[in-house]
Amino acid sequence: MADLGGWPFVGLLGVIFLGAIIQGTTGFGLGLFAAPVMVVVEPGLLPAALILVSIPLPLLMALREPVAARSAGLGWAFIGRITGTAVGVAAVAWFSPRVLALVVAGAVLLAVGLSVTSWRPSVTPRSLLVAGFLSGAAGTATAVGGPPMALLFQRSTGAEVRSTLGWFFFFGTSLSLVGLLLAGQVTTMHVRAAAWMALPMVAGFAVSGRLRSIIDNGRTRLALLSLATISALALLGRSVAGT
């Protein structure tokens, strides 16, 4: 059973707080920062506890800026997420975590490189379907599903990114939770841990409201590209470490 009263868990709560600030200002990032720490502190909490605490945050983001969401065509991203999740489940069964991490990291770094040079992605039904699919597949296989959608919306305003990704990730994480529940992978321990983590998550979300103007002042694209790069490098590091 996980030790929810020790200092390592207290440190994890601090990481949740910082991750919520980052996601609340840029659109994603909680899982990126929390998952590696959770692996060290208490691997048994993954993925259920992190998914449980990750569901309210994107919903809060979407409701905070409801009129900013680019909802037109978002259903295509949802369809892509569902099919991508199924592919991600199959990929986990077919390939080693190391191979999956290398493939996803390479694809993200390539997309970032193209974005810096000449690629200007357009938000269309087709691109939403593809980004949703890639997000579902990568998120299921490696727990890093934010970059595909973030890269697609890199030239949108900060409010559009936060609200649109908020609805997308709320749907996606809820779908993942349903799958875990059906598989019997959610326990009382996960619920207790998520309840503790909800406190710093809400606090981080509240702080992010005061920091949005920093990102929105012409820095949205830089923030998204930077986070996508960090995600890819973290995956590469995990792959090299063999985890």
pLDDT tens for 40-84 read 788 888 888 988 999 999 999 999 999 888 887 899 999 999 999
Higher pLDDT, 218 or 195: 195
φ/ψ of 131, rounded to 5, equals: -65, -40
Mean pLDDT across 201-215: 95
Three-state secondary structure readout of the chain: CCCCCCHHHHHHHHHHHHHHHHHHHHCCCHHHHHHHHHHHHCHHHCCHHHHHHHCHHHHHHHHHCHHHCCCCCHHHHHHHHHHHHHHHHHHHHHCCHHHHHHHHHHHHHHHHHHHHHCCCCCCCHHHHHHHHHHHHHHHHHHCCCHHHHHHHCCCCCHHHHHHHHHHHHHHHHHHHHHHHHHCCCCCHHHHHHHHHHHHHHHHHHHHHHHHHHHHHCCCHHHHHHHHHHHHHHHHHHHHHHCC
- Judged on CB neighbours under 10 Å (0-12, 13-18, 19+), 105 is buried
| Stretch 80-94: mean pLDDT | 86
Residue 137 · residue 147 · CB < 8 Å: no
Mean pLDDT, range 156-162, rounded to an integer: 93
As a whole number, mean pLDDT of residues 99-108 equals 80
- Helical packing angle, 74-94 and 158-182, nearest 10°: 50
Is pLDDT above 90 for 195?
yes
Measured CA to CA, the distance from residue 233 to residue 238 in angstroms comes to: 9
pTM comes to: 0.87
Rounded to an integer, the average pLDDT of 3-13 is: 85
Measured at the alpha carbon of residue 42, what is the angle toward residues 37 and 46, in degrees to the nearest 5? 80
pLDDT grade for 210, boundaries at 50, 70 and 90:
very high
Name the band, by pLDDT with cuts 50, 70 and 90, for residue 199: very high
Mean pLDDT computed over 227-238: 82
